[in-house]
Chains A and B, each alone.
Chain A
Amino acid sequence: MFLIPFTHHRPVSLDEVFETLAKHGDDAAVYAGGTELLLALKARVLRYEHLIDLKRVKELSGIRIEGEELVIGALATHHQIANNDLVQAHVPAYAALSEEIANIRVRAAGTLAGNLAFAEPHSDPPSLLSAMDATLILVSSGGKRGVPMREFILSDFTTAREENELIAEIRIPVTAAGEGFAYRKFGHLERPAVGASAGCVMRGGKPSYRLWFGAIGDRPLHAKEIEDAIAGVPAASLPEALPKVARDFASGISTASDLHGSADYKQHLASVLIQRALAAACEAAQSRGAANA
């Protein structure tokens, strides 16, 4: 499918991006990898008169550590993130997730920021970034603000980002000693039918857990009832404590039957995947505790 003609802009600074955005308003869209936007343009789902390529805006590039946070610039591709030493060392679960996104061509071109901004529900990163309590830094000509990942996606294809704002960076708290995270997913198609993210956080010998689902609804879903039910339960006792609450919670998730599977199949996946994710997160927390002891 061919694309409907547009004017292409190639700014080299954020100021220039904001100028172009201000001039063209909602006739303009920003992009970097284009892996989601170009598909939507080809399918005629979206149409823009102006496309603004962000790839030469240096302020948006780089992956670095600042204090207790890993900072991923908006231009970092999934492939760069997956293979970055800092990401692998400081947020290993996210590096592993990155390596499993779509296929190598999408990972080579697509960026994490683009993925989040697009907010396609069948996406891998949001649930794990929610469990890890990541923050998105949004910039506009008026300044910048931080939005927790947990609040960023409002519904399918809708986020807290204003039209004149860009995602500048994603800040993920470094996984500390005694903490572990994991992501598990399943699907028959390119995108996950259901994703499950889990965190195990040991504080003073007492574990607490963070559990989030992705792809099954129109935004990341916090499994707070499961978290509350297993709070303080030692990891070794989870195989007894978790299955029933996981099943009960999953069977109550509101989801539709679609190409990815029937609603009850996806609820079943959610129950199985959250148990696997939490087991992996607990194992990661134990080995991270040992490594840093």
Chain B
Amino acid sequence: MLDPTNIRFVLNGAETELTVDAAELLVDILRGPCKLKGTKRSCDVEVCGACTVLVDGLPVSSCTTLAVDVEGKKVTTIEGLSENGKLSKVQQAFVDHAAMQCGFCTSGMVLATTALLEQKPHASEAEIRHFLRGNICRCTGYVKILEAVKSLV
């Protein structure tokens, strides 16, 4: 397969076609050509969760995913959660519980929570903690985040 290559995928519900280089990372095409800056790059080694997006409903680190690997898949970023200007239930719960301080981890937290509730609508506190273990809040606002998620189960 020669570079550059065309990829087709569903981005936040919309059929999307892009020309990318094989070595381009998902986070770069989202923040670059797709102009979706809600996905944050931070640790760059799959540890912090700031760059979390959902691929076919599961969280992945967009900093360590090749753009060519989302060919044919559904990608959801933080911009894709609200509908007709109305926040999703998870987004609203984070607002209601003030579950953010600087906000840098929030996109990833909200997306990971969205994936968790899809799999386990009645997740226990232990399951919530386990699932969100890979999303780091360096303001250490975990208690509020946990309260927001617990309000949804």
Q: Which residues of A contact B (CB under 8 A)?
A: 1-10, 34-35, 38-39, 42, 51, 53, 55, 79, 99, 102-106, 108-109, 190
Contacts and interface: CB of A to CB of B under 8 A. Distances in A.
B66 A190 contact: no
A109 B60 contact: yes
A206 to B, nearest CB: 37
A109 B28 CA distance: 18
A50 B60 CA distance: 23
Secondary structure dominating the interface of B: mixed
Interface in B82-135: 112, 115, 130-131, 133-135
Contacts of A6: 22-23
A53 B69 contact: yes
Nearest to B53: A105
A202 B131 CA distance: 35
A109 B3 contact: no
Contact of B49 (A51, A53, A105): A105
Given A2-B28, A34-B64, A35-B64, A105 B22 contact: no
Nearest to A100: B130
Top 3 nearest A-B pairs (CB, nearest first) are A103-B134, A8-B22, A108-B58
Interface in B9-62: 21-25, 28, 44-47, 49, 52, 55, 58-61
Which among A8, A51, A102 has the highest number of chain B CB atoms within 10 Å? Answer: A8
A99 B119 CA distance: 14
B21 A1 contact: no
B132 to A, nearest CB: 8
A156 B23 CA distance: 27
A48 to B, nearest CB: 11
B66 A106 contact: no
Nearest to A37: B64
Contacts of B112: 104
A5 B5 CA distance: 13
Contact of B69 (A3, A34, A190): A34
Contacts of B134: 102-106
Contacts of B59: 104-105, 108
B3 A105 contact: no
Given A35-B64, A104-B115, A5 B22 contact: yes
Given A42-B44, A104-B134, A7 B3 contact: yes
Contacts of B22: 5-8, 51
